[in-house]
Amino acid sequence: MAEAAVKLTKKDFETPLDVRWCPGCGDYAILANLQRLLPDLGIPRENFVFVSGIGCSSRFPYYMNTYGFHTIHGRAPSIATGLKTSRPELDVWVITGDGDALSIGGNHLIHALRRNVDFNILLFNNRIYGLTKGQYSPTSEIGKKTKSSPMGSVDAPFNPIMLALGSGGSFVARSIDIEAKHLQAMMRASHGHRGTSFIEVYQNCPIFNDGAFDMLTDRKVKSENVVALEHGKPLVFGKEADKGIRLVDGKLEVVQLGEGVTEGDLLVHDETNRTQAFLLAQLELPVPVGVFFREERPTLDDMMNKQLETASSKKGRGELKALLHSGETWEVR
């Protein structure tokens, strides 16, 4: 990518509009982290486009001083597909929520993932419909009591990472709203990946689902509950880095290091292995964050554009006159 002429700063990516999320909403942190990252990417500001659906999270583009499109519920991946394939030089980001991406937009999400269009999807997962004031979402746990499920939800939730892997996703990661460093690293990695990159970001909604991720963010306990995936490194976690994850008979097992178990016995993360990523995605405690899986494969935008070039170079640039005269013609005098 071309180097931006002028060095940009976070401020360049802020809009004059008031940010309209509830106080304490995790969306603020995600926004700030991305605004911090973008100047670093060396892309001219005018080449960024943020496309979103509908939801609290989908208000995001209004606060990002780039090109932006706040579209309709669930359809951001489709709109981004049209944009990116026809304008491959743009740097396209899709911002979406668990309702927007996994409920009404589920089909477009899985199709984007299989087609591998080169854009970055950030799914803000607060496990609730925020904007419509608190109904359960496809990531809400069974039994959750909400306005539309007063006796508890009976819908088994999706695991977004498993769904993305099953759809053929070529970059699948997870992070947490307020883990600034980790989140920025994930965003940077996603941006570096050619193809559809998918990051599930756990996001707290203090109004309708407060504390959903407390276990993973509370300083006192989080290191016991989160394991960071790093390619080529063994799966170690715990405040004292004293626990790890081992693979036994194809199943994951949490072990205490030291009691006859060493790091060498632990599972080493291999982000090129889709099946292992799928296994890790099923781990409930500790919760893995990081890049589960990454693979290089052709992108839709590349392939579409290459076909256009090939067609022109093989058949010659089309000429309207010749087209209209193609097939049998005859003269009337």
Partner 1 sequence: MSTQEKVIEQLESVVIRFAGDSGDGMQLTGQQFTQESVLAGNDIGTLPDFPAEIRAPTGTLAGVSGFQLQFASHDIYTPGDAPDVLVAMNPAALKINLGDVRPNGIIIANTDAYTDKNCQKAGFGGNPLTDGTLSSYRLYTVDMNKMTQAALADTGLGPRDIDRTKNMFALGLVSWMFQRPIGVTIKQLEKKFAAKPEILDANIRVLKAGYHYGETAEIFTSAYEVKPAAIEPGTYRSITGNAATAYGFIAASELSGLRLFLGSYPITPASDVLHELSKHKNFDVMTFQAEDEIAAVGAAIGAAFGGNLAITTSSGPGVALKMEAISLAIMTELPLVIADIQRGGPSTGLPTKTEQADLLQVIYGRHGESPVPVIAAQTPADCFWAALEACRIAVKYMTPVFLLTDGYLANGAEPWKIPDVESLEAFDVKFRKEVDGFLPYLRDEDTLARPWVKPGTPGLEHRIGGLEKEDGSGNVSYSPTNHEHMVRTRAAKVKGIQRDIAPIEVYGDPEGDLVVVGWGSTYGAIRTAVDAARNEGKKVSHVHIRWMNPLPADLGDVLRRFKKVLVPEMNLGQLRMLLRAEYLIPAEGLNKVTGRPFTKSEILRGIENHL
Ligand X SMILES: Cc1ncc(C[n+]2csc(CCOP(=O)(O)OP(=O)(O)O)c2C)c(N)n1
Any contact of residue 288 with ligand X (CB under 6 A)?
no
Give me the sign of the Cα torsion angle 100, 101, 104, 105. Answer: positive
| Binder among 124, 202, 213, 292 for ligand X (CB under 6 A) | 124
Q: Cβ(27)–Cβ(56) under 8 Å?
A: yes
| Position among 30, 43, 56, 172 found at the interface with ligand X (CB under 6 A) | 56
> Min. distance of Cβ 237 from ligand X in angstroms?
28
- 236-237 sheet: strands from edge to edge: 236-237, 243-248, 251-256
Tokens representing 316 are: 């010659």
Among 73, 111, 114, 194, binds ligand X (CB under 6 A): 73
Find the farthest-apart pair of alpha carbons in the chain and give their distance in angstroms, rounded. 99
Distance CA 317, CA 153 (A): 58
For position 165 contacting ligand SF4 by CB under 6 A, the verdict is no
Contact pattern for ligand X over residues 125 through 164, marking x by CB under 6 A: -x-xxxxx----x---------------------------
15 binds, among Mg ion, ligand SF4, partner 1, none (CB under 5 to 8 A by kind): partner 1
Per the DSSP assignment, residues forming a β-bridge with 205 are: 209
Minimum gap (Å) between residue 124 Cβ and Mg ion: 7
Cα gap 96→57, rounded to integer Å: 6
Stretch touching ligand SF4 by CB under 6 A, among 111-119, 206-214, 261-269, 315-323: 206-214
Residue 98 near which of ligand SF4, partner 1, ligand X, none (CB within 5-8 Å, type-dependent): ligand X
For residue 50, give every residue at least 6 positions away whose Cβ sits within 8 Å of its Cβ, in sequence order, or none: 60, 61, 64, 66, 67, 68, 69, 93, 95
User: Using the rule CB under 6 A, is 19 a contact of ligand SF4?
Assistant: no
Tokens for 155?
């819908």
By CB under 6 A, tell whether 187 contacts ligand X.
Answer: no
Q: Using alpha carbons only, give the angle 129, 188, 230 rounded to the nearest 5 degrees.
A: 90
Query: Quick one: what does residue 294 bind among partner 1, ligand X, ligand SF4, none, with the CB cut-off 5 to 8 Å set by partner type?
Result: none
Q: Minimum distance between the CB of residue 114 and partner 1, rounded to whole angstroms?
A: 9
Per CB under 6 A, residues contacting ligand SF4 are: 21-22, 25, 27, 56, 126, 130, 205-208
